[in-house]
């Protein structure tokens, strides 16, 4: 296993815990919702990686799939390695279908590791201050430092279970909120990407 967290290219990491998403079998790229809500994973991946004319070259997206038939499987996608732009849920479905069928997909990898192992590895690499959990009950997002590398943990449409949330707290990771309303996972990712994009455009004295 050779996760991309150590790469000099990486500035942003998004990890989505997908509690029902299927981990193999034949995937219908046009009906991802019928595969344990893989459509949620697809929209989150698009929000994390897709730009209008290319993929983000500094971003890693990971989805920890926990549904049948062989959970857990972590799908890791590296924006700078993808040879084509992903623009639709169908594109993501085709990528997952090829990956689950054992085909080589440039920039996409499937690892037989779970959420805790993945997050623990990320904390060792980035440090606990640079790995945060997005949740409505967290601190206001304006308190989050956007300097340097950053990794964000998110749930799917069901959220992250309480036992795992307790484990996240035990690591000393901070929770941050976009507000009291529960937003879709992909909308949270899009907003964080907006904040990070704005960071690079603002004068340093602000």
For the chain, the structural domain boundaries read: 7-198
Spatial distance between the Cα atoms of 86 and 45, rounded to a whole number of angstroms: 9
3-state secondary structure 67-85: CCCCCCEEEEEECCCCCCC
pLDDT, tens digit (0-9, with 9 covering 90-100), for 78-129 = 999 998 889 999 999 999 999 999 999 999 999 999 999 999 999 999 999 9
Spatial distance between the Cα atoms of 44 and 197, rounded to a whole number of angstroms: 17
Spatial distance between the Cα atoms of 27 and 30, rounded to a whole number of angstroms: 9
Cβ contacts of 91 within 8 Å, gap of 6 or more: none
Query: Between residues 37 and 182, which one has the greater pLDDT?
Result: 37
Q: What integer pLDDT is reported at residue 204 of this predicted model?
A: 45
Spatial distance between the Cα atoms of 40 and 32, rounded to a whole number of angstroms: 8
Cβ contacts of 179 within 8 Å, gap of 6 or more: 136
**pTM beyond 0.85:** yes
Architecture of the CATH domain 7-198: 3-Layer(aba) Sandwich (3.40)
Q: How many residues does the chain have?
A: 206
* Nearest Cα to Cα of residue 36 among 17, 15, 50: 17
pLDDT, tens digit (0-9, with 9 covering 90-100), for 134-188 = 999 999 999 998 888 999 999 999 999 999 999 999 999 999 999 888 899 999 9
pLDDT band at residue 48 using 50, 70 and 90 as cut-offs = very high
What tokens appear for 71 in the block? Answer: 């959970």
């Amino acid at each position: 296993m050779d996760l991309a967290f150590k790469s000099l290219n990486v500035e942003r990491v998004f990890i989505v815990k997908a509690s029902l998403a299927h981990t193999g079998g034949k995937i219908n790229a046009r009906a991802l919702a019928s595969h344990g809500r893989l459509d949620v994973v697809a929209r989150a991946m698009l929000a994390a990686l897709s730009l209008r004319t290319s993929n983000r070259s500094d971003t890693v997206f990971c989805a920890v799939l926990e549904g049948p038939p062989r959970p857990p499987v972590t799908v890791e996608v590296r924006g700078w390695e993808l040879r084509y732009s992903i623009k639709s849920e169908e594109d993501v479905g085709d990528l997952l279908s090829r990956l689950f069928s054992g085909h080589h997909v440039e920039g996409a990898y499937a690892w037989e590791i779970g959420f805790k192992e993945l997050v623990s590895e990320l904390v060792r690499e980035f440090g606990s201050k640079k790995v945060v959990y997005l949740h409505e009950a967290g601190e206001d997002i304006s308190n989050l430092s956007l300097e340097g590398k950053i990794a964000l943990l998110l749930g799917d449409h069901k959220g992250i279970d309480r036992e795992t949330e307790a484990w996240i707290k035990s690591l000393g990771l901070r929770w941050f909120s976009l507000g009291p309303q529960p937003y879709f996972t992909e909308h949270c990712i899009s907003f964080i990407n907006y904040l990070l994009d704005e960071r690079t455009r603002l004068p340093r004295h602000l």
